[in-house]
Amino acid sequence: MSHPHVHPVSSRPTAADLALPPALPYPDGWAALAFAAELKPGTVITRQLAGEDVVLYRLRDGRLRAVRPYCPHLGAHLGLATVEGGELVCPFHRFAFDADGRCVRTGYDTPPPRAALSRLPVREVNEAVFVWRHHDGREPDWEIPAWHLLDDRPLRHTSFEMPGYAQDVMENSFDLGHFITLHGWPQGELAAPVEFDGPRFHISMRVREKFPLVGMREVEVGVDGYGLAALHTDVHTRSLGLQICSLVMATQVAPARMQLRQASRFALAEPAGLPPLVARAVSRTVARLLAGPMFKRTIEFTSDDFPIWSTKKYLSPPRLAAGDGPIGAMRHWARQFYPPDHQEHLPAPASLTNRHGQEAAGGVGSHP
């Protein structure tokens, strides 16, 4: 991706990135740190979450673990450790830790000290790896559900790191105006009021999009958001039998610095008038041929936002206008993911027309 601020996922922010004043605290909840495929059995990787390193590793039997990075013996970084069978072994004095994190052996075959790794809640869902952190240290009180996957082909995925805020990635789905002005949709509107339900929201949009060769088509877009961490987007063009399912995950790795992970699958309806087995084979073959270009298209769509996200300032309060979409309602909902002393300047609740965020139900760009 050739934006000046967007890089492949790297391990450290630069000094210049850290000099940016953080406008938002780290969000609470789950955050994606990897794709499951990056963690084959025996793999140890270090990722960042909220300014701290997290070590992820997979035991030989497939179990996944997330731990704080420092060995309880003398503090070696466990990103250097190795998996040996069902244990993580620190390279410094070869102390070994079992699947529960308990120290079970030293490198000198002396009785191990009473020490344990500091484990973090970790989940493997939608072929991604999520780690939980909360400013008050609480255990997980919500989950990211498994979404339907359109088929059994390997998930295509990619990751980026850039300056910016995870909240902006979530807010993007509510920003109806920019779908037209930045992404080039000819028309788009909410199909129903936005639903907010605890850590989840649901948005349905009706969009008209121009396709090569076949022209303008009606597209149904459904977005489910979980926390300030994950979006599942279903884009269904019924008249073409085309369905694209994307996961977009944003993780605040350092102040004003985020990683973005995106994965997609897509499917084509089976053509009518053919014997079922042939129809299935045709649809799967065409889907396989188109998978690369379709994935590229979903990435290009998100990457329209990259130069904006990686250079924008988080404004609170923003100066909203009719046609913006329910951004005020979104920000109100987002408060639950920040420490209570985090004072955000939000529109007074009365100006959020209702808890379903109907303030912009008319949409924008609708030309009858």
Distance (Å, whole) CA 254 – CA 258:
7
- Least distance to ligand FES, CB of residue 12, Å: 22
Region of 159-167, 230-238, 301-309, 336-344 interacting with Fe ion (CB under 5 A): 301-309
Closest CB to ligand FES among 97 and 295?
97
Please report whether residue 324 would count as binding Fe ion according to CB under 5 A.
Answer: no
Closest CB to Fe ion among 13 and 357?
357
Region of 68-76, 164-172, 255-263, 292-300 interacting with Fe ion (CB under 5 A): 164-172
CB-count exposure of residue 94 (10 Å: 0-12, 13-18, 19+): middle
Taking a C-beta distance cutoff of 8 angstroms, is the pair 118, 67 a contact?
Answer: yes
Binding site for ligand FES (CB under 6 A): 71, 73-76, 90, 92-93, 95
- Least distance to Fe ion, CB of residue 291, Å: 22
Which stretch of DSSP H or E encloses residue 280? helix 276-303
- Least distance to ligand FES, CB of residue 113, Å: 10
Q: Which of 232, 70, 247, 45 is nearest to 159 (CA)?
A: 247
Please report whether residue 173 would count as binding Fe ion according to CB under 5 A.
Answer: no
Distance (Å, whole) CA 295 – CA 152:
16
Closest CB to ligand FES among 80 and 155?
80
Q: Which of 20, 52, 3 is nearest to 314 (CA)?
A: 20
Distance (Å, whole) CA 164 – CA 87:
37
Closest CB to Fe ion among 54 and 364?
364
Which stretch of DSSP H or E encloses residue 179? helix 176-181
Task: Pick the binder of Fe ion from 305, 329, 337, 357 (CB under 5 A).
Answer: 305
- Least distance to ligand FES, CB of residue 59, Å: 18
Q: Please enumerate in sequence order all residues whose Cβ is within 8 A of that of 87, keeping only pairs 6 or more positions apart, or say none.
A: 59, 96, 97, 98, 99, 104, 105
Please report whether residue 168 would count as binding Fe ion according to CB under 5 A.
Answer: no
Taking a C-beta distance cutoff of 8 angstroms, is the pair 86, 99 a contact?
Answer: yes
Please report whether residue 310 would count as binding Fe ion according to CB under 5 A.
Answer: no
Tell me the number of residues near Fe ion by CB under 5 A.
2
Q: Please enumerate in sequence order all residues whose Cβ is within 8 A of that of 20, keeping only pairs 6 or more positions apart, or say none.
A: 163, 255, 256, 257
Task: Pick the binder of Fe ion from 48, 126, 159, 172 (CB under 5 A).
Answer: 172
Closest CB to ligand FES among 31 and 78?
78
Query: Could you say which of ligand FES, Fe ion, none residue 168 binds, taking C-beta under 5 to 8 angstroms by partner kind?
Result: none
Integer angstrom CA distances of residue 261 from 38, 173, 229, 333: 13, 16, 10, 23
Query: Could you say which of ligand FES, Fe ion, none residue 299 binds, taking C-beta under 5 to 8 angstroms by partner kind?
Result: none
Q: Which of 136, 137, 131, 166 is nearest to 339 (CA)?
A: 136
Please report whether residue 224 would count as binding Fe ion according to CB under 5 A.
Answer: no
Please report whether residue 171 would count as binding Fe ion according to CB under 5 A.
Answer: no
Residues forming a β-bridge with 66: 56, 120
- Least distance to ligand FES, CB of residue 95, Å: 4
Taking the CA atoms of residue 104, residue 106, residue 110 and residue 112 in that order, the dihedral angle to the nearest 10 degrees is -40
Closest CB to Fe ion among 252 and 298?
298
Query: Could you say which of Fe ion, ligand FES, none residue 172 binds, taking C-beta under 5 to 8 angstroms by partner kind?
Result: Fe ion
Closest CB to ligand FES among 81 and 205?
81
Whether the bond between 276 and the residue before it is cis, its omega within 30 degrees of 0, is no
Query: Could you say which of ligand FES, Fe ion, none residue 74 binds, taking C-beta under 5 to 8 angstroms by partner kind?
Result: ligand FES
Query: Could you say which of ligand FES, Fe ion, none residue 92 binds, taking C-beta under 5 to 8 angstroms by partner kind?
Result: ligand FES
Distance (Å, whole) CA 306 – CA 309:
5
Contact positions toward Fe ion, by CB under 5 A?
A: 172, 305
